[in-house]
Amino acid sequence: MSNVSKIIAVHSYKGGTGKTLLSVNLAATFAKAGKKVCVVDLDFRAPSLFAILKAENVEFWFNDYLNNAVDIGKVLLNLSGRLSGNGKFYAALANPATEAIRDMSSKDRKWEMRALGKLLALKETLLASKKFDYLFLDTSPGLQYSSINAIVAADYVIVATTSDRSDVDGTKRMLVELYNLFEKKTGLVLNKVLDSSATAKKTEMGARVKAAYQVPLLGIVPCFCEVLRAEGNFIFAQDKPDHPFTKILTEMARKIESNEVD
Amino acid sequence: MRDQILTKRPVAILEKIEESLEKLNDKMEVMIEIQKGSGGDAAKSSMVLPDSTLDVMTLLSMPDHLRKTAMTICRCGRATAEEIAGSTSRARAVESAYLNQLVIMGYLKKERKGRKAYFFIDPEGRR
């Protein structure tokens, strides 16, 4: 596909690999550059976007949209005021209430099939009608229905992985047994890399990643204590514009925008 | 009866014949697919699935050639074999055969509008 990816799913094999951190900060990076973006929380088992974005007075959730209760417009939360510049930053949140989590985990296959249709419809409603530039689908780790739906609906999938042995093995298997079958354009982000010289040897790392995972490398994110210290309390790319983490995300955004992801 | 036919314009009669031939062609394609399916390949095992909902898990378990067709119809919702062929870069006749196979398997519905046959996913699934 030569078209620029507009719907980007962020997925991983294991939890805690930095999916939400990447989704929110990549979206913020695009918004800072004047784009209209939306982050969608599809991790219905452990919703986290709600807390990270400190959302208040949420009337409708993305759950409601998938349940066919409301239009997508009612779910969108405009958080553009949180960012500098004239970009637009929206979020569609997963309901963190225990009752909602229980409800989402008991859906049948027909519901999941319709949910895929609702995700695919976002291309028309958000991208075409509401003129969004990018949608980021923050998924649940592993082979979950909601995550696979997101992968099928996406134009491009970012897989976040760490150097943890169980994560490496699982990610490799997932790429072969899941992504290959759907013929998805995929990019790998190595997160929490301890060897600080790894980022300097980008070309070498890129070749190693390509050999090991058979997918192109989108970026390497070293383990930054400052990012951990922030405890998910602010949008890093917005609050620390000169931090190396922000610069790495800016480079990822550039690659996505110029379609240098193959 | 004879008088009725004679009063119609010949072109209309020819169109009717063409439409009937197309319907016949579709039915033959379906029969060919059923025969192929009884050969014991992967398509057969998915044919006996009790729940024929075209969800992502079903997509994953499908043979590669059918998955490509099914994924394309998931994306466009409703399409003719020709439209599907346009995005999979495979021949129309091939896509038509695969689409008909998906209809037999219960994953898709088929509807004729004039001379065109549209394939789509039934949002209610098969009852």
Residue A149: list chain B partners with CB under 8 A: 56
pTM: 0.83
Phi then psi for residue B117, to 5 deg, are -110, 125
Residue B64 falls inside a structural domain: yes
Contact criterion met (CB < 8 Å) for A117 and B55: no
Residue B87 falls inside a structural domain: yes
Under DSSP, is residue A107 helix (H, G, I), strand (E, B) or coil? coil
Contact criterion met (CB < 8 Å) for B124 and A110: yes
DSSP character at residue A140: -
Q: Which residue has the higher pLDDT, A146 or A85?
A: A146
Which domains are delineated in chain A? 7-255 (3.40.50.300)
Confidence tier at B48 by pLDDT (50, 70, 90): very low
Percent of chain A with pLDDT over 90: 60
Residue B37 has pLDDT above 60, yes or no: no
Query: ipTM of this complex > 0.85?
Result: no
Contact criterion met (CB < 8 Å) for A113 and B59: no
- B interface with A, Cβ–Cβ < 8 A, is 51, 53-60, 64, 67-68, 71, 74-75, 77, 121, 123-125
Residue A179: list chain B partners with CB under 8 A: none
Nearest Cβ partner for B55 among A113, A178, A182: A113
Residue A125: list chain B partners with CB under 8 A: none
- Domain with residue B43: its CATH number is 1.10.10.10
Residue B30 falls inside a structural domain: yes
pLDDT digits 0-9 by tens, B65-109 = 999 999 999 988 899 999 999 999 999 999 999 999 999 999 999
CA separation for the pair A63, A88 (Å, rounded):
23
In the predicted model, what is the mean pLDDT of chain A?
89
Contact criterion met (CB < 8 Å) for B75 and A110: no
Q: B91 to chain A, minimum CA–CA distance in Å?
A: 19
Confidence tier at B114 by pLDDT (50, 70, 90): confident
pLDDT digits 0-9 by tens, A139-175 = 999 998 999 999 999 999 999 998 888 888 899 989 9
Nearest Cβ partner for B53 among A113, A152, A183: A113
In degrees, rounded to 5, the angle at the alpha carbon of residue A202 between the alpha carbons of residues A31 and A24 is 25
Task: Please state which of the ranges A180-189, A225-234, B79-88, B100-109 shows the lowest mean pLDDT.
Answer: A225-234
Domain that holds residue B94: 2-120
Residue B93 falls inside a structural domain: yes
Residue B125 falls inside a structural domain: no
pLDDT digits 0-9 by tens, A38-57 = 999 999 999 999 998 888 88
- Residue to mutate among A109, A114, A118, A140, with most B CBs inside 10 A, is A109
What is the secondary structure of chain B as a DSSP string?
-HHHHHHS-HHHHHHHHHHHHHHHHHHHHHHHHHHHHTT-SHHHHHHT-S-----HHHHHHS-HHHHHHHHHHHHHSEE-HHHHHHHHTS-HHHHHHHHHHHHHTTS-EEEEETTEEEEE--TT---
Pairing of the two strands A77-78 and A88-92: antiparallel
Residue B126: list chain A partners with CB under 8 A: none
CA separation for the pair A90, A83 (Å, rounded):
11
pLDDT (average), residues B6-11: 73
Residue B61 falls inside a structural domain: yes
Residue A183: list chain B partners with CB under 8 A: 68
pLDDT digits 0-9 by tens, A194-221 = 876 656 677 777 788 888 888 888 988 8
Under DSSP, is residue A163 helix (H, G, I), strand (E, B) or coil? coil
Instruction: Report how many domains make up chain B.
Output: 1
Residue B101 falls inside a structural domain: yes
Residue B126 falls inside a structural domain: no
Contact criterion met (CB < 8 Å) for B57 and A148: yes
